[in-house]
Structure 1
Amino acid sequence: MKLTTLAEHREYLHEIVRLKLWFLHSYLLRHPGETFREALRERVDIYRKTIFNPGLLNPTAEEIDFQAPGWQALETALEVCFRAAGNDVARFEHEGFELLRDAIDARAARDWIDVSFIDGYQCGSLRYEYGKLEKDTVDVHIANARRPGSMFEEPEYLGHCFLELMRAAEWKFGCRRFRVFSWLNSSSKWLTYFPAEFAADRGPAMTDIRWHYGFWGQFIDARGLFHHKNAEFFRANGIMPYATRESFCSFAAMRQHLRNRFQLMD
């Protein structure tokens, strides 16, 4: 599978920002108690895709500067646009995007060559994070380290990633289970990697949509481009095709499942 071109990546940025503007409009009409700026900063990640993001693709909280004069001016213009559009979501999506276009295009080349999305991933397409949960539990983060291919192409690949993660978390922290908080927990392809307890213990669908990939990652395909099919579902139904859910799994049950399903040994 071929790498993306700059033109393709720019088109992805345009499409994902348009989708987020569409969502932002409908969300704010349903939640009049939330300010425009709160929703723009916390529900979508448009800021990170503009020239006003001075850092990498996923800047730290300390690097984000929502008070930068240029970004402040853009926020103001977008809010004026939102108020003028009223109930016309298509108008806000179109006019809002035109306000953002130059700021997105100015960063597109830098965004295209940025591979920092996989920084810190210790186990292929998986990263463990310790300290946020109970002492015996490690948090699992997911990113496609096989881009432009898919992390699902070779059935055993993710199984090996999980075995490596469990070994490291057990040795370093004494962990005995992991947590996954992601839209992938609603994907049948993803769930084949887990024992029955993982699917059974999934929490309810999270409707409090936030800016991060735990929700919005489903609109990026294996090559890192826009996932048109999932976006069409979202627009047609008003809900994301894959609900973000939380679940936990013990290392023992996971190892047994990987052994039985994929013949993978730790």
Structure 2
Amino acid sequence: MIALLDPYDRQSFPDPRVALLEPNGLLAVGGDLSPGRLHNAYRRGIFPWFSAGDPILWWSPDPRTVIFPKQLHISRSLRKHLRKHDLSVSFDHDFFGVIHGCAQPRDDQGGTWLLPQMIAAYQSLHAIGLAHSVEVWRDKELVGGLYGVAIGRAFFGESMFSRVTDASKVALVHLCKRLADWRFGLIDCQMRTDHLVSMGAIEIPREEFLTLLEEHCPRSGFNSNWFGGFEDPTTALETTDSKPKTPRS
């Protein structure tokens, strides 16, 4: 049976290594979306994902899709776009705008998993310095971005959006550069998409992913000042590789 979480115990989660999981990675049901519970979930490789009318569902899929920041792949066409200087990038400048941009229904999906209680939960994490955003601007208009959760030296990507071509990719390039500079070990992408694979994302076994979290995501987190001014998108090209690499096992 899938575990039912105690609403009063925000520390307790089933261990994904030994718990009975559904084939798609469903691990537990219930609980709440408090900052303490979310922090404990992410540290254990678990994240919430549910639709309107469902209880809170917690997942730990196998395999897990990740990007290693120094191994980001930047295509020739994206490099050309980065050099056009028509977009600027900021960090934690408009978390509200980014998460609401991500919450807009996609043309091919017709709905959103970012329900009001999820938005409120991540805004609470942002207020205490655990959730962060990358914004992409054209002139003064927000045209793309991404957000996620940073604990220790692991970044857990949650969602991204684009209103102009390649805006979310530009956000990811800048995120990887900053995380590489700060010696972050990995970006959790949760599930595989062609968009992420084209930029160097790979699938690894859940066991390997959990081992990486033990290394990069300790209880005492690495605190960073994410807020900053606008940056030239071409600077993100300086420390990224042109081809994805296979990590050591």
Q: Same fold (TM over 0.5)?
A: no
Greater fraction of residues in helix: 1
The structure number with the bigger radius of gyration is 1
Say which structure is richer in strand.
2
